[in-house]
């Protein structure tokens, strides 16, 4: 047993507690918390998102996996559920969905543009087809794929390239794309296997396929009523950002 986490004292209501270490010393004058500094950092990373992984947060991953039920219990008090994938060594939290409850939303979201969502779908398709292998992707390759969504009446190719680049940068900042050691290339995070369910992906993909097919026939975005603007889709917003190479 380590000093990485602590919970309620024995005998507290709510059933048996998961195994946990003894309470740490106070971290500052007046500190009434019962968790160690590392455990608190683990909670902060989970809540601020977009995710926690062994690759990016080795020490915090160890803290989480030593007492996952403790974290599940504490997160539940905030209307959050823990999604932990031991195979891919990553975890994230999401707001619980209960029809009979008015559940407040604690995690922050950032609206995505049409281009953001199209790129996410493409990246998810690449990572899910890799069957557990690491997937590397180049910005130029993604730009080429995104061409199917370019309005055939749009003669501003530089503007289109700029929008694709902005989405590439945004997904890098959110950790969906991770540095791969060479400029212009990223590793796709396996988190994309988890954050979108099959039904959600099918629904959005069907609409985007319709748009791509219509563009191939020479129909404009205006005719399809699909503006390049923020939509209902969203990503969890992270505080720490990563500058693109």
pLDDT digits (tens), the chain, 245 positions:
443 444 444 444 455 555 454 455 689 999 999 999 999 999 999 988 888 988 889 999 999 999 999 999 999 999 999 999 888 888 999 888 888 877 777 666 667 788 888 898 889 889 888 876 889 999 999 999 999 888 878 889 999 999 999 999 999 988 889 887 788 899 998 888 777 666 656 666 676 677 667 666 654 444 433 333 333 344 544 333 333 34
CB-based contact 36:25 (threshold 8 Å): no
Residue 113: the pLDDT is 84
Asked if omega into 104 is within 30° of 0 (cis), the reply is no
- Dihedral of alpha carbons 16, 17, 18, 22, sign: negative
Q: Number of H helices and number of E strands within the chain?
A: 8, 8
Indicate the SS3 state at residue 93: strand
Cα(223)–Cα(210) distance, integer angstroms: 13
CB-based contact 209:149 (threshold 8 Å): no
Residue 231: the pLDDT is 34
Residue 17: the pLDDT is 53
Residues with Cβ within 8 Å of 23's Cβ and at least 6 positions away in sequence, in order, are 6, 34
CB-based contact 8:17 (threshold 8 Å): yes
Residue (of 117, 70, 114) closest to 235 by Cα position: 117
């Amino acid at each position: 047993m380590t000093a990485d986490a602590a919970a309620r004292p024995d005998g507290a209501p709510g059933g048996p507690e998961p195994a946990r270490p003894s309470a740490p010393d106070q971290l500052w004058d007046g500190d009434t918390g019962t968790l160690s500094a590392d455990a608190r950092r683990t909670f902060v990373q989970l809540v601020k998102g977009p995710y926690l992984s062994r690759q990016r947060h080795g020490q915090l991953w160890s803290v989480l996996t030593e007492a996952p039920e403790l974290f599940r219990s504490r997160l539940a008090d905030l209307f959050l559920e823990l999604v932990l994938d031991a195979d891919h060594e990553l975890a994230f939290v999401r707001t619980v969905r209960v029809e009979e409850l008015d559940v407040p939303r604690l995690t922050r979201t950032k609206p995505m543009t049409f281009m953001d969502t199209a790129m996410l779908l493409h990246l998810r398709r690449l990572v899910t087809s890799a069957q557990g292998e690491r997937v590397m992707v180049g910005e130029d390759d993604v730009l080429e794929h995104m061409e199917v969504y370019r309005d055939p009446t749009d003669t501003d190719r530089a503007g289109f390239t700029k929008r694709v680049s902005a989405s590439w940068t945004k997904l890098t900042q959110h950790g969906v794309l991770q540095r791969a050691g060479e400029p212009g290339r990223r590793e796709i995070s396996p988190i994309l296997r988890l954050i979108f369910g099959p039904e959600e992906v099918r629904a959005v993909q069907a609409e985007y396929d319709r748009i791509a097919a219509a563009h191939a026939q020479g129909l404009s975005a205006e005719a399809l009523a699909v503006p390049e603007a923020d939509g209902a889709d969203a990503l969890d917003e992270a505080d720490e950002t990563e500058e693109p190479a």
